[in-house]
Structure 1
Amino acid sequence: MVSSKSDLKVFYKSFIAIGLPLTIQQLVSSSLNFIDNLMIGRLGTQYLAAVGFAGSVYRILDLVIFGICSGMGVFIAQYFGKRNFESIRKIFGLMIRSALVVGICFAIFAYFNSEYIIKIFSKDPRVINIGVSYLKIVIFCYIFYAISCAFAYSLRSMGYTKYPMIAASLGVIANTFFNYCLIYGNLGFPQMQEKGAAIATIIARIVEMIAIVFIVYKKDFKLKGKLESYFNIPKDMIKEILRISLPVISTESLWILGTISLSVAYAKLGTDQAACVQIADVVSAISAILFMGIANSAGVIIGQTIGGGDREKVMFYSKQVIKVAFIMAGVCLVIVELLSGIIVSLYNLPINIYQIGVDTVRSYGILVFFKMINWAILIGIFRAGGDTKVAFYLDILPLWLYGVPMAFLGAYLRLPIYYVIFMAEFCEVIKLVLALLRYKSMRWIKDVAI
């Protein structure tokens, strides 16, 4: 029988120790995109929309790499619970190779198809020119970002969360400084506008990668080994990794494609409306910071507890995760609603677009409550439990069968953008109902470590 007092204390101590650095890292990482968005947005709505559209490639890359790393991270967390570092190093090596291949492929594809990518979202010649100019430069950061992610997710899965936070912080400092210098031409640097933002992002990702590789080299974490220790993965282990990871990768790929489809539908309402969506996306991302910390912290704790073989404690801990998620989702909802006007005022929007921006942010804010709880359950509990296939169905089917069709219907009817967003994102409510039903069945608990 789980001792409520003692295990509750252990849970929250671990949850805060792991989750706080993760939350700070998410804040720092999201700040990089927020700073780009804010600084380039002050040049006008065309710049804001164009860089946002170009950023869709990065968003897809980010989610695919997240799928790869979080899928393999399930194994690292559970093997860490068993103290099997030999297997951890093999998975770590596979994670780096996989993420690097994805980063290179995305960079090549985006470079040769940059104009076509921006034209998916807009027919405005000025927006297309700015978007292509930005995208053809920024794609070079994808490779550095892929390597950083593999190192960061491996450390996270073992509970070493403060080190990725440090590396990400250094990257944001570099990004902010060079954005200030290169976008506007300050401190003797040339004024490069969107090109300057792209170069600043590349520098930031290089700094972040160097920092986290150096940390692992110096601290070891039992990740260091001979070259062959990162290869020669047993066939049974590869099969199990593929069985668990492919649904995660598929989930993230189809989820981001669905999200991009929503952006395409929203963009059909015009450049100004698309710029408002970019602002709301940033606000949504900032609101999600806390919940990525919750989800990843929960994933580490639950994954390691399953690896330790204590099923009863897994259920006890998972109930605490859901409790925390509901409380913090309510807090985020209130904050977004109260600060929506202040946030939109930071951007250089025409007066007639300002109120549309505020209403758009508020629409996103209402749905933050449901979206964030879904992340905590689907990512923090189901994936860590090895129930990745069901998590795939719950995450993807409501989006594609309900959300995307409703977005295009709203765009076809020329409804205000904030109405269209609310109609489409209501799929999060459907997800939450289904996720809670799955959770109560307890069939999501699976020990995947061989």
Structure 2
Amino acid sequence: MSQFMKSMCKIAIPVTLQSMLQASFSIVDQLMIGQLGETNIAAVRICGNYSMLVSVLFSAVGAVAGILIAQFLGAEDRREAWSSFTVSMVLCGMIAILFCAASFLAPAGILGLYTKDTLILGAGCGYLRLIAVTFLPMGVSTILSVWLRCREHATATLVASLCAVVVNTVGNYILIFGKMGAPTLGITGAGIATLTSQLMNLLILAACFIGCLHKDADRMQLSLHFDKLNKKEYLLMICPILISEFLWSLGQNVESAVYGHLGTQNLAAYTLTCPVQGLMVGALSGLSAAAGVLIGKRLGKKEYDAAYEESGKIMKAGLLGAVVVSGVLMLFSGSYVSFYRVDTTVQELGQSLLFVFALYAPVKIENMILGGGILKSGGDTKTVMLIDIVGTWGMGIPLCFAGAYLLQWGIVGVYVLLTSEEILRLVISLIIFRNKKWMISLA
């Protein structure tokens, strides 16, 4: 096995297992909450939409951190790498505090943007406050994970996630249903379990981070100052990603709001498909992470030909894997939705949505590898932002509204129209990839 394949597997396999692990336990969580009825399923999904806004902002900051850390480590510039770490950590802390404050001050107002159903609002407000407390540990964990992956210690993040999801799942079982002498708390219990698991994840990551510093004979050099990158250049890099991730997440929220207005059954059907969609994407997410780190290091060393060649190898691996997972999903979609205690209509809608997702999965995976890893590795985040905006807001959202309100189609037809924007996104990304202008060394 070549050194490239070894390095790719060292990052991709732990990240993939981590993503699949989280998605698998998310499915278990959804199944537990699904026993509480459609109202609670919808309430958890709506709160998850708001939480997703926060997580994608963390991901945006983490993406820039990964670009800079990978390139500076490739150029063997430890000081600049640590500056990237410090600035990213401070930004995540600021985002966490802002969104947490909003959640405590106006939970009903936030959830009211998604639904007017008073039952869903009543169930969701307390849950949202509990989820908001997780924002700060989530942000800190994001940057710690980025550092560990760039140093090729991705197994540490897998260990932390394993422990966290076990705590979350066991906590859900005990607190949702009142097992082992605990009170029956419903979705409030789910919120408490989520908070506990995030704290566990942070503690383990922090311990692994300290241990890896010792192993690498490295020491922290915290600084908010860059020598090779001024504040304007940093802002020009992070702002496009923040904008694109925020607009993408906002688009997801708009889509969910449209589904919600199509009726509770439609929203519930979409909600029960989300964990398995996450599982399928997670099965190949490690390739995107590996692309960002490995291609970034190549660019940091100014090895442009190797960067382009290795990018092609990662894309081919992603396409092959996506075809396999799509086939698996088509075979088992019916069995999956049958586990939910909802009426037959919701199950049938859910199975149809999963089938559509499976058809689009290869395109979606290639977009994830290209936009989420390869094209960002050179720091040209403005181009990635434009691709996202054109795809989501130029095509996806207009088609979503047209299908729901003009054509008055059901959720399956609307989802088919909406997801077709992935094709446009891939075409644009491939054109940009082939012109090679994204290959920029920042070191």
Match of 1:189 in 2: 182
Contact 2:291 2:374 in 1 (8 A): yes
Once the 2 structures are TM-superposed, how far is the Cα of residue 234 of structure 1 from its aligned partner? 4.1
The one-letter amino acid of 1:305's match is R
Once the 2 structures are TM-superposed, how far is the Cα of residue 289 of structure 1 from its aligned partner? 0.4
> Is 1:419 equivalent to 2:413 in the alignment?
yes
Once the 2 structures are TM-superposed, how far is the Cα of residue 59 of structure 1 from its aligned partner? 0.8
Relative to 1, partners in 2 of residues 1:265 and 1:202: Cα closer, same or farther, differing over 3 Å? same
Match of 2:424 in 1: 430
1:386-417 residue CA offsets vs partner (Å, 9 max, x unmatched): 22111111122121011111111222143121
Distance in 2 separating the partners of 1:39 and 1:448: 47
Contact 1:71 1:249 in 2 (8 A): no
> Is 1:224 equivalent to 2:224 in the alignment?
no
Match of 2:196 in 1: 203
Once the 2 structures are TM-superposed, how far is the Cα of residue 35 of structure 1 from its aligned partner? 3.3
TM-score between the two structures when normalised by the length of structure 2: 0.96
> Is 1:156 equivalent to 2:156 in the alignment?
no
User: Helix, strand or coil: the match of 1:187?
Assistant: coil
Contact 2:268 2:346 in 1 (8 A): no
Which of 332, 340, 346 is equivalent to 1:353? 346
1:49-448 equivalence runs, <5 A: 49-220=42-213, 221=216, 224-225=219-220, 229-234=222-227, 236-412=229-405, 413-448=407-442
Match of 1:38 in 2: 31
Relative to 1, partners in 2 of residues 1:100 and 1:33: Cα closer, same or farther, differing over 3 Å? farther
Distance in 2 separating the partners of 1:84 and 1:242: 21
Relative to 1, partners in 2 of residues 1:198 and 1:115: Cα closer, same or farther, differing over 3 Å? same
1:288-339 residue CA offsets vs partner (Å, 9 max, x unmatched): 1023211001111100111112111111101101111211121122122111
Contact 1:164 1:212 in 2 (8 A): yes
- Which region of structure 1 is more displaced relative to structure 2, 191-200 or 133-142? 133-142
Contact 1:89 1:223 in 2 (8 A): no
Contact 1:182 1:192 in 2 (8 A): yes
Once the 2 structures are TM-superposed, how far is the Cα of residue 222 of structure 1 from its aligned partner? 5.7
Distance in 1 separating the partners of 2:220 and 2:41: 45
Once the 2 structures are TM-superposed, how far is the Cα of residue 176 of structure 1 from its aligned partner? 0.9
Distance in 2 separating the partners of 1:156 and 1:246: 23
User: Helix, strand or coil: the match of 2:378?
Assistant: coil
Contact 1:367 1:422 in 2 (8 A): no
TM-score between the two structures when normalised by the length of structure 1: 0.94
The one-letter amino acid of 2:410's match is P
1:214-263 residue CA offsets vs partner (Å, 9 max, x unmatched): 1112331466336xx33344484433322222212222111111111111
Contact 1:81 1:308 in 2 (8 A): yes
Contact 1:266 1:407 in 2 (8 A): no
1:105-163 residue CA offsets vs partner (Å, 9 max, x unmatched): 11111222211222222222211111112112221111111111110112112322111
The one-letter amino acid of 2:432's match is R
The one-letter amino acid of 1:24's match is L
The one-letter amino acid of 2:442's match is V
Distance in 1 separating the partners of 2:308 and 2:36: 51
- Which region of structure 1 is more displaced relative to structure 2, 61-70 or 84-93? 84-93
The one-letter amino acid of 2:369's match is A
Q: What's the RMSD between the two structures over aligned residues? A: 1.6
Distance in 1 separating the partners of 2:334 and 2:260: 22
Distance in 1 separating the partners of 2:255 and 2:97: 26
Once the 2 structures are TM-superposed, how far is the Cα of residue 283 of structure 1 from its aligned partner? 1.9
Contact 1:88 1:223 in 2 (8 A): no
Contact 2:70 2:293 in 1 (8 A): yes
Match of 1:5 in 2: none
1:328-361 residue CA offsets vs partner (Å, 9 max, x unmatched): 1211221221111111112111123221121122
Distance in 1 separating the partners of 2:20 and 2:432: 30
Distance in 1 separating the partners of 2:228 and 2:122: 48
1:16-42 residue CA offsets vs partner (Å, 9 max, x unmatched): 111001111212333453333221112
Contact 1:74 1:157 in 2 (8 A): no
Contact 2:24 2:276 in 1 (8 A): no
5+ residue gaps, structure 2: none
5+ residue gaps, structure 1: 1-7
User: Helix, strand or coil: the match of 1:120?
Assistant: coil
Distance in 1 separating the partners of 2:422 and 2:436: 22
Once the 2 structures are TM-superposed, how far is the Cα of residue 88 of structure 1 from its aligned partner? 1.4
Match of 1:4 in 2: none
User: Helix, strand or coil: the match of 1:331?
Assistant: helix
